Amino acid sequence: MKLWNRHTGILVPLLAVIALTLWPVLTGKPANRETAFTLLKAVALASSLNILLGYTGYVSFGHIVFYGFGGYVGIYLLTERGWSLWMALLAGGVASGILAFLLGSAILRLRGAYFALATIGVNEAMRAFINNFELFGGPTGITLNFSVYKTYGGAAQALQTSFFIGAGLALFALILSYLVRSSKFGLGLLAIRENEDAAEVMGVTAPKAKTWAYVFSAIVPGMVGVLFFFKNGNVEPHDAFPLHASIELLVMVMLGGQGTVFGPILGALAYQGMRGFLVTSPIFKDIQLSVSGVLLLLIVLFIPAGAIGWLRHRMPLFRRVLA
């Protein structure tokens, strides 16, 4: 009982992800499954970004670089080296983690907008490099051989399996985010967010802590990349490093509430839901980007703490439940 009282914060996010996983299973419609997959992917990516953005306070505009890079490594091993999907997923996560470690040691010395600019530069440099990298297929990328799916019980079954792996990754991202948040390490990150110099004085080894936060926020995106491009059947530079997807992730985290466990999940669901509505609605479909822009502007200007931050501030009751 005591344990539950201490960890009520994970309950709501956990239920949300489980409900999202069960919804297509219960309704049994492939269309619902695809929608749920998109939502779970957004949840996994936004929760990961939150470790860096929300807890540590570093704004990464190029976080999608880990998704693309991990995806490329995984798909390369899967097609050219004949690795299994499971090993490729692990390899994608590890590759992104290593990339984050190396990059982080260098660019996390920059603060504020300089860091944000550097992440944009890294993403663009990586995209341009992969475009020229013959091992990864250059501008045409890598296409999966259709027979790969046979190992996983045919294409239809492979889609089903991918969905459950996606749900597993979202769950993993959520638990990782919660563990970081409730640990002493996470407390160090929050201290860095509030005042990096003061945190160092209080005994937080900021460079080390920041680098690990970066690594933790990169692993899941790498794995999600492998899974997504496996499901997609091919990977090319243009799809792997879309700068606007990075920014969409920032919007999701902002929308739900940065620095909270449930915030990015709520933000991901709300953003994707809204986007789905705008793209299909006859009035807004042509200007859906503008409508999203107006909404984003309103949030940034008037509720910068996001939905969860606002709720926690207004209603103390929620503080225990919404971590």
Residue 43 binds other proteins (CB under 8 A)? no
Residue 279 binds other proteins (CB under 8 A)? no
Q: Are residues 262 and 323 in contact, defined by beta-carbon separation less than 8 angstroms?
A: yes
Residue 122 binds other proteins (CB under 8 A)? yes
CB of 193 to other proteins, least distance (A): 9
Residue 250 binds other proteins (CB under 8 A)? yes
Sole binder of other proteins in the list 8, 15, 80, 139 (CB under 8 A): 139
Which listed range, 29-37, 118-126, 176-184, 262-270, lies at the site for other proteins (CB under 8 A)? 118-126
Residues 145-164 binding other proteins (CB under 8 A) are none
Residue with tokens 């530069």: 121
Q: Is 142 helix (H, G, I), strand (E, B) or coil?
A: strand
Residue 315 binds other proteins (CB under 8 A)? no
Q: Is the dihedral of CA 298, 307, 59, 189 positive or negative?
A: positive
Tell me whether residue 78 or residue 268 sits nearer to other proteins (CB atom). 268
What's the CA dihedral at 152, 233, 88, 97 to 10 degrees? -140
How far apart CA 56 and CA 112 sit, in angstroms, is: 12
CB of 246 to other proteins, least distance (A): 11
CB of 255 to other proteins, least distance (A): 10
Distances (CA, A) of 80 to 141, 144, 249: 12, 9, 31
Residue 287 binds other proteins (CB under 8 A)? yes
How far apart CA 159 and CA 309 sit, in angstroms, is: 36
CB of 158 to other proteins, least distance (A): 34
Q: Which of 128, 13, 142 is nearest to 62 (CA)?
A: 128
Which listed range, 94-102, 159-167, 250-258, 264-272, lies at the site for other proteins (CB under 8 A)? 250-258
CB of 68 to other proteins, least distance (A): 14
Sole binder of other proteins in the list 11, 12, 25, 59 (CB under 8 A): 59
How far apart CA 239 and CA 279 sit, in angstroms, is: 20
Q: 8's torsion region: left (phi>0), alpha (psi -120 to 50) or beta? A: alpha
187-190 long-range contacts (CB < 8 A, ≥24 apart) are 189/51, 189/55, 189/56, 189/213, 190/55, 190/259
Tell me whether residue 199 or residue 251 sits nearer to other proteins (CB atom). 251
How far apart CA 72 and CA 219 sit, in angstroms, is: 14
DSSP 38-79: HHHHHHHHHHHHHIIIIII----S-THHHHHHHHHHHHHHHH
Residue 239 binds other proteins (CB under 8 A)? no
CB of 291 to other proteins, least distance (A): 7
Residue 57 binds other proteins (CB under 8 A)? yes
Which listed range, 128-136, 184-192, 199-207, 211-219, lies at the site for other proteins (CB under 8 A)? 128-136
How far apart CA 115 and CA 257 sit, in angstroms, is: 21
Tell me whether residue 29 or residue 114 sits nearer to other proteins (CB atom). 114
* Binding positions for other proteins, rule: CB under 8 A: 53, 57, 59, 61, 106-107, 109-110, 112-114, 116-118, 120-122, 124-125, 127-129, 131-132, 139, 247, 250-251, 254, 258, 286-294, 296-297, 300-301, 304
